[in-house]
Amino acid sequence: MEMLESVLIANRGEIACRIIRTAQRLGMRTIAVYSEADAEALFVQMADEAHLIGPPPARESYLRIDRIIEVARRTNAASIHPGYGFLSERAEFAEACAANGIVFVGPPASAIKAMGLKDAAKSLVQQAGVPVVPGYHGSKQDPDFLRQKAYEIGYPVLIKAVAGGGGKGMRRVEKAADFDAALESAQREAQSSFGDPRVLVEKYILSPRHIEIQVFADGHGNVVHLFERDCSLQRRHQKVIEEAPAPGMPPEMRQVMGQAAVEAARAVGYVGAGTVEFIADGREGLRPDRFYFMEMNTRLQVEHPVTEAITGLDLVELQFRVASGEALPFAQEDLAIDGHAVEARLYAEDPEKEFLPSTGKLWALEFPESEGIRIDTGVEAGAEVTPYYDPMIAKVIAHGATREEALDKLAEALGQTIVAGPKSNAAFLKKLCEAEGFRAGAFDTGFIDRNTADLGVGPQPIDEVAVSFGASALISREIERLRMAELQKSDEPSSPWSMPDGFQLLGLRSVGVPLRVDGERVEAREVFSREHPGASTVAFGNSDPWANEETDREVEAPHGVYIIRNGRQTFVQTYDPFDVDLEHMDEGGTVKAPMHGKLIAVFVQPGDRVEKGQRLAIVEAMKMEHVLVAPSDAEVAEIAAEPGAQVAEGARLIVLKTEE
């Protein structure tokens, strides 16, 4: 059978680049669609042609089925690949493709519908003999009823959106007193992400391991599994590091889980690439009788590269071949596991500030090139990380003969990765790869939450060495600027009295250097050498001004300098201490937006008295909700923004009058 002539990629970023690379290798014409925010994006440059479909918000561009189908018809696209996220699991999108004679590179709409609603999917696979987690999977959504069901199931419970995935609309609830707020939040996030607020309630499995099986089916009745992936390292139900195969997986359990996944796929007449996700009770290690079906993702997964690494297959190529009508070129017995692979999701987020998404220009972005390392990215140096979409910068994948070798390679690669501009989780990921418990295989989905201090999560001391490097770079830049200015003014040499060298008659010569370090005001000291006239260095805090320290990278920007050290970014600026900073005056009672986003809820009114830690508002950014709480007991003086408004990072939202 002939390969499809062309493909329109109904997605963006890293996965769009990934699909384009394989499609072009297969000789297919590639068509990109993009929003106004992505006009200069890497995937737009890579595609053979690209077409604008709307403004930055996804609901006005990447979620517009009508506009995407219109572009596909206008360009005579033979097929549409949905990637993951956005429209990838929307049955109506697959139906629209079929209605217009366009091949949908994915399962039939009937399979998407069957597995798209978690409650119906659980009933379906249960009939096929696949074990499911105890819980309420019915249609009744009355809060009082769901609260009663949670009581009957027994805490802790997990509230999960019926539609969608990716951790959206999911809340763990430890006690009955927290149920109502968690339910409200999960329903709101589910409505925002999937257009469906319905939820189910399940028993939360203690010491859970999140293990998924990659399945593949063709249109000729053949279904196989491509082994498992372990996705247990999570934060807020979002996967952080994934690996294949799963550590400690007994062969008999792999066989049982694999067969269960195949049966689930057969039950819905599946075609193409899909993932069947299971939760395993890991209290006594992985056992064949202690795993439960969670959901089936009817699309390619973010973590598919680790499966490709251990099987030697290109899953996107297989998707295209199956969509073209070809049969799978192998049977189950032809497949084998080769070594071990680990993937880390590199995000533009700040682990020191509760993983808040970070936006802005990427002043530098560099990845190592070494054997066994693969980089999947959708951005390059100079690109903007915007607040409109998922903050992923790249996926860093390592493949080795053993798990230890793969983790060593990944940790080394993360240590050599340079990200300057938005904050990133590179240092956090490196520490995670090196964490003793994870290395030993003693982990579950709560591992990160239990080890935040050791992983560099939360406020960290200022990197004094990085500040010294940054201040030295800024001083050198200023001296060069002054020198050039002097040369332009006169041919006469500059007077030594006008040089900024901290000249003084007694003691060690030094001058104060006022700085901002990641927005915080500090002061360093430029210290001048007695032995070498004109030579100077910068001291900050307790750092030795003459120590021969090292840094990974120094990246200049017009507004300051970024110092990358041990994978951690420090941004250093000069400032004039005599300037009046109106923006930050009397800010103790002001609650500001922690990032660019949308203010979706305000829970207080002027005149209300609030207690420290009380919920005040919710800001949604990059598909996640962020709760803002009162920093102290206070009275609400002013509400400065209306729910529904787009707010910039640092914007005033609520003004509090602190109680004396």
Q: Tokens 């009380």 correspond to what residue?
A: 614
CA 241 to CA 425: how far, in whole Å? 12
Contact 135, 178 (CB under 8 A): no
Q: What type of residue sits at position 214?
A: Q
Cβ-based neighbours of 30, under 8 Å, separated by 6 or more: 6, 7, 9, 19, 20, 23, 24, 46, 47, 48, 49
Residue 108 tokens read as 């039939």
Catalytic residue among 254, 299, 345, 568: 299
CA 393 to CA 376: how far, in whole Å? 9
Q: Is 299 a catalytic residue?
A: yes
User: 514 pairs with which residues across the strands?
Assistant: 523
Runs of H (alpha helix) within 118-268: 118-127, 143-153, 179-194, 251-267
Contact 157, 183 (CB under 8 A): no
* φ/ψ of residue 238, rounded to 5: -100, 130
Residue 490 tokens read as 């006169």
CA 253 to CA 281: how far, in whole Å? 13
- What are the distances in angstroms from CA 348 to CA 270, 426, 633? 35, 9, 33
Cβ-based neighbours of 489, under 8 Å, separated by 6 or more: none
Length of the chain, please?
A: 660
Contact 162, 176 (CB under 8 A): no
* φ/ψ of residue 224, rounded to 5: -135, 165
User: 579 pairs with which residues across the strands?
Assistant: none
Residue 188 tokens read as 């709101």
* DSSP classification of residue 381: T
Residue 216 tokens read as 């593949």
Per-residue buried b or exposed e for 52-90, using 16+ beta carbons within 10 Å of the residue's own CB: ebbeebbeebbbbeebbbebbeebebbbbbbbbbbbbbb
CA 248 to CA 246: how far, in whole Å? 6
Contact 462, 541 (CB under 8 A): yes
DSSP-assigned states of every residue in 304-330: HHHHHHHH---HHHHHHHHHTTPPPS-
Q: Minimal CA–CA distance to 345: which of 368, 376, 308, 372?
A: 376
User: 8 pairs with which residues across the strands?
Assistant: 31, 80
Q: Minimal CA–CA distance to 273: which of 314, 318, 309?
A: 318
CA 16 to CA 43: how far, in whole Å? 6
Cβ-based neighbours of 144, under 8 Å, separated by 6 or more: none
CA 270 to CA 297: how far, in whole Å? 11
Residues marked active site are found at: 299
